[in-house]
Amino acid sequence: MFRGLPAAHIASPAIKFTNSAAAQTIDERRVRGILGNAADSCMKQLRREKMLTLRRKLSGRGDLGRPAYRFVVAILYSGKATCAANTRPSPSRAPTDQHRTQPETPTIVTSQLADRAHRNVDMLEPIPNLVWQEILRPANATPEEECKSGLSQSRVVRCHSPSGPLCLRGWPATVSRKHLDFIFEAINVARQAGIETVPRYIHPQAISGWVEADNRLWELTEWKLGTADFSAQPTSSRLAAATSCLGNLHRIWRHWRSGTASSPGVVRRLQIVNRLLNTNLTRRWLDSVHTGLFANRASELEFMARRTIRAFEAHGTAVRQSLAALLAVPVPVHPVLRDVHVEHVLFAGDQVSGIIDFGALAIDEPVVDLVRLLASCRPDRRDWLAAIAAYEQASGVVVDQRRLAVLDQASCLLSAVQWAEWLLFQGLQFDTPLGRLIDRWKKLVERLEELDWQKPPQ
């Protein structure tokens, strides 16, 4: 059936996949009967990123369909098989001596690739052939699991390799090569300075820059181990470890590339506030609540929308004035993460083991990172101050807490408004379940109502 495999594997009447959870045995002749003369074209379709086509063809074949699909893909994953012409045997042909002398149920062993594919391949979307050739095979990496990428719209695939787990990422078309070059530089600067919480890039010999395929730019990095479980275990020591890690990153990047300018983060927030105040956009959200996708949760969303509108109408003008005052003062700027929050910080015990998702990295004032991280942790007053002290010690910079408080209020208000606009007015679709998105919005609204708007902390 496939060239490049030992004769025993081709001629055996049955092929057995070994799995710790369950062993499944499928008869090769039945597999051939399912694939028929289409076997060759199916393999070519696989190499042209069309595994879903084969999956659809086999989906109606009952219990045999999935093992047959896994069988073909397991062979493909081994990188040893090419398509044979006219793969369907003649029903009238008698077995050869070679068939008679082979064991009854040999097992395919391709460095455990078949078993991993057997367990995980049905969870993977097609990966472009060019990515296989230029990234995965030179790195001896095998895709294992398609992972959720949150709101970034990236493709993230966890891979196995002899050196440990790897992360294959396909950036969305909105991310430019120039921006990825900047991220690459910033991460390498941090790695060279001894910061191991950022991922290491993997560079097989075949790679020259990023691989462009399927309207994405692809890269391979180490998979950072740890768990983003701060919300489940929100201790003061963990929060201090997170802000200290952030401070170390900022210190390295400040020495690498820095300057003085009006804060891009303040400019961006001020533009959003002005747009919302000038167009009265918030009043149009409620018209969207009872229609389409959200009709079954209309009362809940309307309640959330009214709370958000009430907060914006109460504080929007004051936030605009406070931001305008900050804009008048130039500040130090350097590379910052801009989207660092509890779901992007991995822990091993009380220590930070990794920071993930650098897609928003840009030049800005460092306070925007501290605001983003602290707001996602929702610490009390004592832990807030302890976390800032840990950041100051690591970064070597004294935080302007008045500026921090203004940006915290503005960010919390505008983030709640942004979620309302995304969900109710623009109707954006994310790969995150709707319930989780609404929970994020709800937490922002709750925090808005907890903030002391009369007197920001000094």
More confident of the two residues 436 and 315: 315
* First and final C-alpha spacing in the chain: 74
The residue out of 166, 199, 222 marking a domain boundary is 222
Name the pLDDT band for 14 (thresholds 50, 70, 90).
very low
- Considering the domain boundaries, does residue 343 fall inside one? yes
The residue out of 123, 153, 180 marking a domain boundary is 123
Alpha-carbon gap, residue 136 to 131, rounded angstroms: 6
DSSP state for residue 123 in the 8-state scheme: G
Q: Looking at the structure, do residues 115 and 162 belong to the same domain, yes or no?
A: no
Name the pLDDT band for 181 (thresholds 50, 70, 90).
very high
Alpha-carbon gap, residue 326 to 269, rounded angstroms: 11
Measured CA angle at 50 (ends 206, 7), to 5 deg:
75
Q: According to the model, what pLDDT value does residue 452 have?
A: 73
Q: Looking at the structure, do residues 215 and 175 belong to the same domain, yes or no?
A: yes
Q: Distance from CA of residue 171 to its chain's centroid?
A: 9
Residue 458 confidence (pLDDT) above 50: no
More confident of the two residues 436 and 324: 324
The residue out of 102, 123, 144 marking a domain boundary is 123
Nearest C-alpha neighbor of 371 from the set 347, 417, 337: 337
Using CA atoms of 43, 47, 53, 57 in order, give the dihedral in degrees to the nearest 10: 10
| Cross-strand pairs, 27 | 14
- Considering the domain boundaries, does residue 27 fall inside one? yes
Name the pLDDT band for 427 (thresholds 50, 70, 90).
low
- Considering the domain boundaries, does residue 231 fall inside one? no
Is there a contact between 37 and 87 (Cβ–Cβ < 8 Å)?
A: yes
Ranges 10-19, 130-139, 222-231, 424-433: which has the least confidence:
10-19
Q: What is the CATH number of the domain that holds 294?
A: 3.90.1200.10
Q: In what order do the strands lie in the sheet with 259-261?
A: 259-261, 331-336, 362-364
Task: Please list, residue by residue across 90-105, b when 16 or more beta carbons sit within 10 angstroms of its beta carbon and e when fewer do.
Answer: eeeeeeeeeeeebeee
Q: What is the pTM of this model?
A: 0.72
Which range of residues forms the domain containing residue 157?
Answer: 129-222
Task: Determine the average pLDDT of the residues in 316-329.
Answer: 95
Ranges 317-326, 385-394, 408-417, 436-445: which has the least confidence:
436-445
Q: Looking at the structure, do residues 267 and 398 belong to the same domain, yes or no?
A: yes
Q: Looking at the structure, do residues 343 and 274 belong to the same domain, yes or no?
A: yes
Q: Looking at the structure, do residues 212 and 291 belong to the same domain, yes or no?
A: no
Q: Looking at the structure, do residues 294 and 386 belong to the same domain, yes or no?
A: yes
Alpha-carbon gap, residue 78 to 95, rounded angstroms: 28
Name the pLDDT band for 309 (thresholds 50, 70, 90).
confident
Percent of the chain with pLDDT over 70: 64
Number of independent structural domains in the chain = 3
Q: Looking at the structure, do residues 186 and 141 belong to the same domain, yes or no?
A: yes
Note the pLDDT tens digit of each residue in 413-426. 999 988 888 877 76
- Considering the domain boundaries, does residue 54 fall inside one? yes
Q: Looking at the structure, do residues 279 and 218 belong to the same domain, yes or no?
A: no
Q: Distance from CA of residue 405 to its chain's centroid?
A: 30
Task: Report the mean per-residue pLDDT for the chain.
Answer: 76
Nearest C-alpha neighbor of 263 from the set 208, 204, 333: 333
Measured CA angle at 140 (ends 135, 142), to 5 deg:
85
Residue 100 confidence (pLDDT) above 60: no
Task: Determine the average pLDDT of the residues in 372-377.
Answer: 93
Q: Looking at the structure, do residues 243 and 271 belong to the same domain, yes or no?
A: yes
Q: Looking at the structure, do residues 142 and 97 belong to the same domain, yes or no?
A: no
Q: Looking at the structure, do residues 110 and 210 belong to the same domain, yes or no?
A: no
Q: According to the model, what pLDDT value does residue 33 have?
A: 47
- Considering the domain boundaries, does residue 229 fall inside one? no
Residue 99 confidence (pLDDT) above 90: no
Alpha-carbon gap, residue 119 to 23, rounded angstroms: 11
Name the pLDDT band for 455 (thresholds 50, 70, 90).
low
- Considering the domain boundaries, does residue 228 fall inside one? no
Alpha-carbon gap, residue 164 to 191, rounded angstroms: 18
Q: According to the model, what pLDDT value does residue 287 have?
A: 59
Q: According to the model, what pLDDT value does residue 106 have?
A: 32
Name the pLDDT band for 373 (thresholds 50, 70, 90).
very high
Q: According to the model, what pLDDT value does residue 354 have?
A: 97
- Considering the domain boundaries, does residue 355 fall inside one? yes
| Cross-strand pairs, 331 | 261
Q: According to the model, what pLDDT value does residue 238 have?
A: 97
- Considering the domain boundaries, does residue 354 fall inside one? yes
Q: What are φ and ψ of residue 426, in 5° steps? A: -85, -25
Q: Looking at the structure, do residues 272 and 360 belong to the same domain, yes or no?
A: yes
Q: What is the CATH number of the domain that holds 149?
A: 3.30.200.20
Note the pLDDT tens digit of each residue in 272-296. 999 888 876 656 665 555 444 555 6
Q: According to the model, what pLDDT value does residue 70 have?
A: 52
The DSSP code sequence of 9-51 is: HHH-SEEEE--SS--EEEEHHHHHHHHGGGHHHHHHHHHTT-H
More confident of the two residues 98 and 407: 407
Name the pLDDT band for 450 (thresholds 50, 70, 90).
confident
More confident of the two residues 21 and 320: 320
